[in-house]
Structure 1
Amino acid sequence: MKKIFKYCALCAMAGMFVLSTSCNDLLEAEPSGKLTEAEMFGNVKSAMLIVNGLYDKNLNAMRGWEFLRTMVGTDEARYARNRHLTDNYGLDGSFDTYGDGLSGNNSGLGALWNNYWAVVVEAGKVVYYLGEDESPEAKQLVAEARFLRALNMFRLSVQWGDIPILDPALEAEYGTDRQPENVVWKYIIDDLTAAIVDLAPESSDSFRATRYAALAMLGKSLMYAPESTGLRNFAEADKCFVEIINSGKYGLVSNYKDLWNNAPFEYPKIPAVSDFPDRPDLIKTPNFKEGGISESLFTVEFTYRSDDSGYNSYQWCTGSWEFETWFAGEASWLSGYEYMVPNIFMYEDVNTEADFIHNYEFPDPVLGPQLIDRGVGVWEDGDQRRDASIRYEWYYYTDTYSEQPALSYGANNLATYKNKGTAGQFKWIQVNERKAQLADNMRDAMNPHIKKFEDFRCDVNTGLGISMFRTHKPFPVIRYADILLLHAECLSEAGNIGEAINVVQNQVRKRAWGDGTPSAWNPASKEQFRDMIMDERMRELAFEGWRRTDLIRTGKFVNLVKSRNDWVIETPGYINENKKHWPVPLSEITEFGWTQNPGYIQ
């Protein structure tokens, strides 16, 4: 943590001066410039550069597989079979099994911990040194810093429980000791309450914090604060959500799939060879806006930069390894290293009918689609969020004449194909799903995958020269649909269950069914509402980073993970209530003499 303090200050200086030294070189160096820390963080012009850098640090905390670790080990997502069994990243499989590999020595946890603290510590210095400046510019910068500090402390406490409060103003009181959750969550709530006062109501840059983003996080904090803190307050939380709703600045985009803009085309079910469509215009970057309203209250703006600092690697982590192998590299927008896939419960329907396309030979008209059932899941008939969130069918656009190469894993899965039209036109091919011929650890490769992160611009055939390792679609951290669902929870808790049902059924679910009519959603009691809203949040917010926090705050973590996570089902003996929090990195335990979280080896 001492290094984190120094790292933040020196990296901020690096943004002000032309330096050839990297941040790693600066870790143990002393500042060589004339500005003191107080002068650097307490000056509006330099603080502006630092706050701009804070947004990049927040982006860095969300950019890769470290952040995706917050999604695996839930009832929503898990490690793919080949990653779980080969464990290439150092005991990663323990994030699903909650076994002994989930310890303070786990490097993946250490990376995520450090990424969050890099934002918290530097934001704290802006608040400390610039807080006495009464100019409107300074107040806005301090409020933005408070928001980013609170957002990342929210993440830290949800995932680790007791954490230190590293605030220069409170150093004498708290030092570097871990503080109990009631102290931590009051600090988060106070930060957001103060930020709301000075944050602008809107910004021309969607990645900057606004008053409404802070209201959203304050409402969430008042709902997500552990009950033991005495700070959970649904009535006060709902005041935040109602103000957002009444502002008129936010709303639901008409079509759910447009939020993700995964492809500039619709996938046909089983097209005839003569019906291959021509390739349309390239995909555009989603902006979550429609008709003067936005569905995103706070967005992380991943962008493709020449220095590789702005992209995320979500597709690399969630795409199919079969495509990766077939293309011999990062060339297909459907390929990836298969770090994370949906659990069976997450991609199956609520009914028990065969509904998952398991195997077909295309264009063989004899075999046709082979449907199987893998069990009861979360999706209802007609819900368009299912196919917008999860890839079930494997089609690929190409203008290449090619014979399929041999693969190193199991059977060949991409059919031999030829361009059926005029040279230069892009055509469909269909992927065979011969899972029975694949090695056991590769069977996930053509099972359902996460679709939200796909970025068609990163395909070799777009000619843009961007590999799928460097996807850069913006990511909505807080969506209006989330606010509506939380508002409905607050209404239900207050006894207004009819009004709560109306919000869910006639706004969120109505959009999800498009032109169709949503199936009935009628919880009969507050208790039943609590159960049903969890599945509704799962459908609406699939893979958007809120599932673990929802499981923890509702007390459903152990029961739902134990019954729905494919790996936990196979190894149920490890998970218990202690595992809702992760172990603190051993380096911090050693340096500060902290006690490790219960259930983990020191």
Structure 2
Amino acid sequence: MKNKVFFLIVFVFTIFGCKNDDDVQLRTGDIKITVVTENNIIVLGAIVKILPNDIEKITNENGEVFFENLSEGTYTVMVSVPGDTINEEFVIEPGQLNLLTIIVDDVVVIEPDPLDINFLINTIYARLKDNTLFDSGGYSMYWGDIGVDIVSTNTTISSNYRGLDKFDLTPTNTIINDIWVSHYETIIEANTGIEFLESIDPISNPEIDKELLTGELRFLRALLYFNLVKLYGNPVLTTSGNNIDINNPPVFIQDTEQVYDLIVADLEYAQDNLMVSGPNNRASVSAAQALLGKVYIQMAGFPLFQADKYQKALEQFERLQGRYSLEPNYEDVFNVSNEVNNSEIIFSIDFSSDDPNEGSNYGVLWGPLGLAIEDNLLLVPSFLENYFEGPIAFPLNINDQRFNQNISTFTVQNGIATNTEDIANWRPYKFKKDVSLPVIRNGESFDFPYLRYADILLLIAEAENAINGPTPAAYNAINEVRRRAFGSIDYELTDGLTQEEFLDAILKERQLELCFEGHRKDDLIRTQRLESTINSFNINNPGDVKDFQSHEFIWPIPQIEINLNPNTVQNPGY
């Protein structure tokens, strides 16, 4: 039996509506495209698009797609798999039968028997670095900050993110499809590992810490499903690996609350079985507590409105107090030399330039004009103005130390920085600091801070305010962040704010503190401020408006899933 790489959770449905080799007689104007890896492993679930016709299909169980009745001429075939897109030209000529093989990068195939559980877990951690997950073009960019009021996409260059920024959201969007696929590919591996651990006898396998490793896998699965439920609202829920009966394909659950129930159960199990502490790039009790608190906060707001979850969130966050603290200087949070002993980072995604496949690309998309390879992101003026106590004036005199870490007010040429007073030339600058060194693709050592204590403090303030109003405990939490930002008690939040005013202050503080880390859109959605924020952006930026509709707080279920699984229900409005 041939090896296969499965990219879709419902791959079994490819047996319906897909042609078999024996059934296909290629004619002039037809083309069969086969997708394989460098090791000649066939690829199921690759997205194949023919341009300029813009016809899209999914490879079947033989790694094949068929396009029929194409006119004579030159075409481009675009093959997309998680983390990679291949473009090749081909020509339809009179009397020619067309067979085309596309070779994509090799991927790791987890063999179910025998299964190396530690290798599988390390593989999942490595997958978190994928560009459709947590690299620079991943979660923080495609979901967190574009499409709102921090950055917008540069209209002068071609960018796949432009459609997301302007809410041109369709079920066939390549990014929306790729992100779905990469998450489920990784979830299936986690499910495979969990099933394997459930099946083993701990007495016969004393070298395997069954509960600890299951806790690690369930933490990772929860993290991935938390992404999916926020992105797609009603993702497909599966807790199985690849062992699916193709003669009796299942009907998968699509229910927001049931997805959250699984996330909560996974994180509760993780808390009970993981190590209390350890390297911040591995799952731990603290990471599970922090993530579960964030999950509860999101459940407390729109669209679930489960207000009892505010108290549950506080209970999780209180367990972290005393174990973590803010770094004295904001810039030290992101200092590469401080990653191991960082007092603030609870869980991070670690990138290493020592491995050409595991370095980050944060300097590729994010950084000063003239240094970043792809100048994709422009700063929204109103976001910049929030760092200032009045109009932007020169010479710059800014008390908030976060500004210089987060914003490049200079351009770079030949390794030399030159200040500019044209704010249109300012750029995001949070992660790449040494402007004398060139940016190298996949070549940066940088740990992306997925969970950090400043985020937790601001969520403590939000939960406390939601339950009791702006109490001293709520003020203390937000002011701890502000004292670090300004290096002084003189900038503590004004007393006497109403509950609504205090929430506005928290959201502004989160915008300034956590920008470019992927939090902004979640903040606005759960507090029902997304639409009003976009309306304000459109009024202030009439040449760059976002076409937001009320149902677009989540993405559509990808068309590839609906094509393969006729039971899948599309989200309302799409």
Class of the TM-score when normalised by the shorter of the 2 chains: 0.7 to 0.9
> Among 73, 88, 94, which residue is 2:163 paired with?
94
Please tell me whether the aligned partners of residues 66 and 111 of structure 1 are also in contact (alpha carbons under 8 angstroms).
no
Please tell me whether the aligned partners of residues 191 and 239 of structure 2 are also in contact (alpha carbons under 8 angstroms).
yes
Shift of 1:352: 7.7
TM-score of the pair, normalised by structure 1: 0.70
Distance 2:447 2:151 in 1: 21
- The residue type paired with residue 154 of structure 1 is F
Report the equivalent of 2:137: 65
Which structure is higher in RCO with an 8 Å CA cutoff and minimum separation 6? Answer: 1
Matched, 1:336 2:336: no
Please tell me whether the aligned partners of residues 147 and 191 of structure 1 are also in contact (alpha carbons under 8 angstroms).
yes
Larger deviation, residues 562-571 vs 471-480:
562-571
- Give SS of 2:378's match: strand
Report the equivalent of 1:319: 367
Please tell me whether the aligned partners of residues 176 and 558 of structure 2 are also in contact (alpha carbons under 8 angstroms).
yes
Please tell me whether the aligned partners of residues 302 and 473 of structure 1 are also in contact (alpha carbons under 8 angstroms).
yes
Shift of 1:206: 2.5
Matched, 1:453 2:505: no
Map residues 251-290 of structure 1 onto 2, 5 A cutoff: 251-261=325-335, 284-287=336-339, 289=341
Gaps of 5+ in 2: 12-35, 45-60, 63-108
Larger deviation, residues 155-164 vs 553-562:
553-562
Matched, 1:186 2:261: yes
CA deviation vs aligned residue, 1:366-424 (integer Å, no higher than 9, x gap): xxx6x8xxxxxxxx9522112211112346785xxxxxxxxxxxxxxxxxxxxxxxxxx
Matched, 1:103 2:170: yes
Matched, 1:3 2:4: no
The structure-2 alpha-carbon separation of the partners of 1:66 and 1:508, relative to structure 1 and needing over 3 Å to count, comes to closer
- Give SS of 1:59's match: coil
CA deviation vs aligned residue, 1:441-463 (integer Å, no higher than 9, x gap): xx94x2x2111121428814xxx
Report the equivalent of 1:81: 155
Distance 1:346 1:304 in 2: 32
Shift of 1:24: 7.8
- The residue type paired with residue 479 of structure 1 is R
Matched, 1:150 2:225: no
The structure-2 alpha-carbon separation of the partners of 1:36 and 1:182, relative to structure 1 and needing over 3 Å to count, comes to closer
Larger deviation, residues 385-394 vs 194-203:
385-394
Shift of 1:217: 0.9
Shift of 1:107: 0.9
Matched, 1:522 2:570: no
The structure-2 alpha-carbon separation of the partners of 1:478 and 1:176, relative to structure 1 and needing over 3 Å to count, comes to farther
Report the equivalent of 2:418: 430
- The residue type paired with residue 3 of structure 1 is F
Distance 1:384 1:543 in 2: 16
| Identical columns (%) | 24
Please tell me whether the aligned partners of residues 368 and 411 of structure 2 are also in contact (alpha carbons under 8 angstroms).
no
- Give SS of 1:175's match: coil
Please tell me whether the aligned partners of residues 58 and 116 of structure 1 are also in contact (alpha carbons under 8 angstroms).
no
Gaps of 5+ in 1: 8-19, 262-283, 324-333, 358-368, 372-379, 399-427, 436-442, 461-465
> Among 459, 463, 471, which residue is 1:498 paired with?
471
The structure-2 alpha-carbon separation of the partners of 1:23 and 1:494, relative to structure 1 and needing over 3 Å to count, comes to farther
Please tell me whether the aligned partners of residues 459 and 467 of structure 1 are also in contact (alpha carbons under 8 angstroms).
no
Shift of 1:513: 0.7
Please tell me whether the aligned partners of residues 66 and 108 of structure 1 are also in contact (alpha carbons under 8 angstroms).
no
- Give SS of 1:183's match: helix
Shift of 1:197: 0.7
Please tell me whether the aligned partners of residues 193 and 217 of structure 2 are also in contact (alpha carbons under 8 angstroms).
yes
The alignment yields a C-alpha RMSD, in angstroms, of 3.3
The structure-2 alpha-carbon separation of the partners of 1:219 and 1:213, relative to structure 1 and needing over 3 Å to count, comes to same
Report the equivalent of 1:414: none
> Among 316, 319, 335, which residue is 1:240 paired with?
316
Shift of 1:25: 2.6
- The residue type paired with residue 312 of structure 1 is S
Matched, 1:384 2:456: no
Distance 2:541 2:555 in 1: 16
Distance 1:77 1:37 in 2: 42
Report the equivalent of 1:310: 358
Map residues 106-145 of structure 1 onto 2, 5 A cutoff: 106-133=173-200, 134=202, 137-145=209-217
> Among 554, 563, 567, which residue is 2:527 paired with?
554
Shift of 1:519: 4.7
TM-score of the pair, normalised by structure 2: 0.74
Q: How many residues align?
A: 469
The structure-2 alpha-carbon separation of the partners of 1:344 and 1:40, relative to structure 1 and needing over 3 Å to count, comes to farther
Shift of 1:211: 0.4
Matched, 1:510 2:486: no
Report the equivalent of 1:25: 41
Higher strand share: 2
- Give SS of 2:326's match: coil
